[in-house]
């Protein structure tokens, strides 16, 4: 049975997938049962989405708003208590083999007077638990991106240049955020509006990224600064 599952997952992902020998049969069956329940919920959800590839896994108490603006590829997993709010001007577009961790949210709706723009996510992207992506300006995440837990991304800033008016009355500035292919972002990283994280970059845990990175650069700190280049 396990070998059969390995073959199926390998075919879906396009890369070899070998289950650890230390995983007990009891634990494996528990995981299989949970994934089966997620798949059934996904099958019931698919007709309501704008587009959906096969094998869509939806966890327990997943919140999906604006379903007709959500496009997902094959092998997409939305873990328990996660959510997508797609009340946007455009769409939430997600590629193949995407996973959204428990209690993580893609949040497109801020206020009714000015909806967020859009978010496009490539193939083989994983976003770990307790993360928030706030879609205001356009957000693009490329292929093969790994994002750790407690990540946050914000594509909007509040204006505050006027000392007399309350900040909440001064409006906002939206800027696009781009995370290119083959990027690893550690736990508790914050990415701010207007940033491009270039291909192959590594962002250390706890960093706040306020400026563009260079290709294959390693960055860390608050604000994040260049440490060295990947070899």
H helix or E strand, kind and range, residue 16: none
pLDDT at residue 144, as a whole number? 98
Number of domains observed in the structure of the chain:
1
10-residue mean pLDDT profile of the chain (231 residues): values are 78 80 90 95 97 95 97 97 97 98 93 91 98 97 99 97 96 97 99 98 99 98 98 87
Strand partners, 83: 63, 105
DSSP state of 114: B
Which of 158, 211, 225, 230 is labelled catalytic? Answer: 158
Q: What is the CATH number of the domain that holds 66?
A: 2.160.10.10
Structure tokens that stand for 173 in this block: 């500035």
Range of the domain at 30: 2-229
3-class secondary structure, 39: helix
158 tagged catalytic:
yes
Spatial separation of the C-alpha atoms in residues 231 and 227, rounded to whole Å: 13
Q: By CB neighbour count within 10 A (0-12 exposed, 13-18 middle, 19+ buried), where does 27 fall?
A: exposed
77 by Cβ neighbours in 10 Å (0-12 / 13-18 / 19+) ranks as: buried
pLDDT of residue 59: 98
What pLDDT is attached to residue 15? Answer: 78
């Amino acid at each position: 049975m396990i070998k059969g599952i390995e073959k199926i997952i390998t075919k879906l992902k396009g890369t070899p997938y070998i289950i650890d020998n230390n995983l007990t049969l009891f634990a494996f069956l528990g995981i299989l049962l949970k994934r089966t329940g997620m798949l059934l919920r996904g099958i019931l959800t698919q007709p309501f989405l704008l587009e959906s590839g096969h094998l869509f896994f939806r966890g327990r108490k997943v919140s999906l708003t604006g379903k007709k603006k959500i496009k997902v590829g094959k092998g997409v997993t939305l873990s328990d208590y996660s959510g997508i709010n797609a009340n946007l001007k455009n769409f939430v577009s997600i590629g193949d083999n995407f996973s959204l961790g428990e209690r993580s949210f893609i949040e497109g709706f801020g206020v009714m007077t000015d909806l967020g723009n859009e978010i496009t996510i490539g193939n083989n992207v994983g976003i770990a638990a307790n993360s928030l992506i706030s879609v205001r300006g356009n957000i693009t995440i490329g292929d093969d991106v790994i994002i750790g837990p407690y990540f946050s991304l914000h594509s909007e800033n509040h204006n505050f240049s006027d000392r007399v008016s309350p900040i909440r009355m001064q409006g906002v500035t939206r800027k696009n955020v781009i995370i290119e292919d083959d990027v690893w972002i550690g736990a508790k990283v914050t990415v701010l509006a207007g940033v491009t994280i270039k291909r192959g970059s590594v962002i250390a845990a706890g960093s706040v990224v306020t400026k563009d990175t260079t290709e294959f650069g390693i960055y860390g700190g608050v604000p994040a600064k260049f440490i060295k280049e990947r070899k």
